Amino acid sequence: MPLKRGRPKKSDKKANKNLEKRKKLKQQIDENKEKIRKYKAKIKEHLDYKETIKKIFRAKSLKTAMKYFNQLNDKLEELPPIIKDFIKKLSKKINKALNYLNDKNMPKTNNLVELLFKVTFPGKIKRIYRTYAGAITQIKIDDLKWIEQNVLKNPVKK
């Protein structure tokens, strides 16, 4: 049934109720649009800082990475509070965080198993692979499961 045009009659309670709901929703939408306009500039500013922080970790040399970090660190008082806190925490461990730039054999992340499989595992599996012995044990168990499924269940064909 199509909606009627114009104002609903006073006796049509359902239509009046729906009209009030639409008015409230329109008012909420207008308020939300105003909030979006208000925060758009702040969001853009945060995204710009995010890109600068990314440059630190994507740099090819330690000198370049430190240059980007020092640029942010010099403007510490002008930064938004969230970015400011992050830079303060990072400044304590910047050498450790950028240590992979000095040694080419060191990976950017510290979990070699995840680098090997290109997957981030859930916590339960991460605990298994945390030690060398745990990783070897898990590989042996996987081999045994494969042998059991493929070799022992299927009869040998002559």
Percent of the chain whose pLDDT exceeds 90: 21
Range(s) of the domain holding residue 35: 15-107
Q: Say yes or no: 59 and 127 in one domain.
A: no
User: How far is 135 from 18, CA to CA, in rounded Å?
Assistant: 62
The average pLDDT across 27-34 equals 93
Task: For residue 9, tell me if it sits in a domain.
Answer: no
For the CA atoms of the chain, what is the radius of gyration?
A: 30
Question: In sequence order, which residues have a C-beta less than 8 Å from that of residue 94 and are 6 or more positions away?
Answer: 66, 69
Q: What is the pLDDT of residue 155?
A: 60
C-alpha closest to that of 50 among 79, 93, 19:
79
| Residue in the block written with tokens 């207008």 | 30
Residue 5 within a domain: no
**Which of these three, 90, 107, 124, is where a domain ends?**
107
Query: Which residue has better confidence, 23 or 145?
Result: 23
Contacts of 56 (CB under 8 A, 6+ apart): 65, 68, 69, 72, 98
pTM: predicted TM-score of the whole model, two decimal places = 0.51
Say whether both 42 and 98 belong to one domain: yes
CA distance 143 to 138: 9
58 and 101 housed in the same domain: yes
What average pLDDT does the chain have? 81
Q: Which pLDDT score is estimated for 45? A: 87
From 71, 89, 107, give the residue that closes a domain.
Answer: 107
Q: Are residues 103 and 35 in the same domain?
A: yes
Asked if 131 and 60 sit in the same domain, the reply is: no
Measuring CA to CA, which residue among 98, 102, 108 is closest to residue 69?
98
Where does 11-97 have alpha helices with state H? Answer: 13-58, 62-74, 81-92, 94-97
Q: Are residues 77 and 34 in the same domain?
A: yes
Q: How many domains does the chain have?
A: 2
* 44-83 pLDDT, tens digit each: 888 889 999 999 988 989 999 999 999 999 999 998 888 8
Q: What is the pLDDT of residue 24?
A: 95
The span from the CA of 116 to the CA of 81, in Å, is 37
Reply yes or no on whether the pLDDT at 11 is more than 70.
yes
The answer on 115 and 94 residing in a single domain is no
Check residue 102 and give its pLDDT.
Answer: 84
Give the end of a domain, one of 64, 81, 107: 107
Between 31 and 143, residue with greater pLDDT: 31
How confident is residue 111, by pLDDT bands cut at 50, 70 and 90?
low
> Is 2 part of any domain?
no
Average pLDDT over residues 74-96: 89
- Asked if residue 26 and residue 91 are part of one domain, the reply reads yes
Q: Give yes or no: residues 97 and 123 share one domain.
A: no
Q: Are residues 48 and 64 in the same domain?
A: yes
Q: Which residue has the higher pLDDT, 26 or 99?
A: 26
36 and 57 co-located in one domain: yes
- Mean local confidence (pLDDT), 139-152: 79
Domain shared by 24 and 81, yes or no: yes
Best CA proximity match to 69, nearest among 81, 57, 60: 57
